[in-house]
Amino acid sequence: MPHHGCTGNLRARPRWQDPQEVDRCRRLGLGRQQAAARAAARPAEVVSPAAVRVLGIETSCDETSAAVVSGAPHALSLDSLVILSQDVHRLFGGVVPEIASRQHLTGIVPAVNAALRDANVGIRDLDAIAVTYAPGLVGALLVGTSYAKALGFTHDVPVVPVPSKRTHARMP
């Protein structure tokens, strides 16, 4: 390991945590221990593979997409699909990451609401929320993952991170 001018084993040092932040997370029920307790408190309901219904959210680049799929893993059906394109990038001759992120902020709620409405389902009818987490534009990905995590936490629906390369590889 290269010498950085610090004494001792850098890997063994505990990570500094703001005491106010730790207290806030404890009161809100956030963190690893609280998440494990919430998961243990959930009913241990076994979901049949034929009954899976998933909301998918994709914000890796310049389009905000939401879809609801249902069925068995080998025979999924697309219940709804909403894609919001950002034509503003044409003015600049390509995708501008900052503009893409801001457009996702305004488009993600209407896209998800439209996808759920078109599929005739509510948030609580979902078995999971799948969201693209990488690779892509960092700001755009943060919008999608933050929204999916907030939606899942609020409505007690599990969130599944999915790499966009895996989904592209499985497309016909």
The segment(s) of the chain belonging to CATH 3.30.420.40 are 52-169
158 CB-near residues (< 8 Å, 6+ apart):
127, 128, 129, 152
- The 3-state DSSP class for residue 13 equals coil
81 CB-near residues (< 8 Å, 6+ apart):
65, 66, 67, 115, 118
What's the rounded mean pLDDT across residues 157-166? 86
CATH classification code of 52-169: 3.30.420.40
* Cβ–Cβ under 8 Å, residues 54 and 130: yes
Query: Which residue, chain included where needed, has tokens 């394109």?
Result: 85
How does pLDDT run across 59-100, given as a tens digit for each residue? 998 889 999 998 877 777 888 888 877 777 777 888 888 888
How does pLDDT run across 136-158, given as a tens digit for each residue? 899 999 999 999 999 999 999 99
Burial of 77: CB neighbours in 10 Å, binned 0-12, 13-18, 19+ = exposed
* Cβ–Cβ under 8 Å, residues 24 and 48: no
pTM for the structure as a whole: 0.68
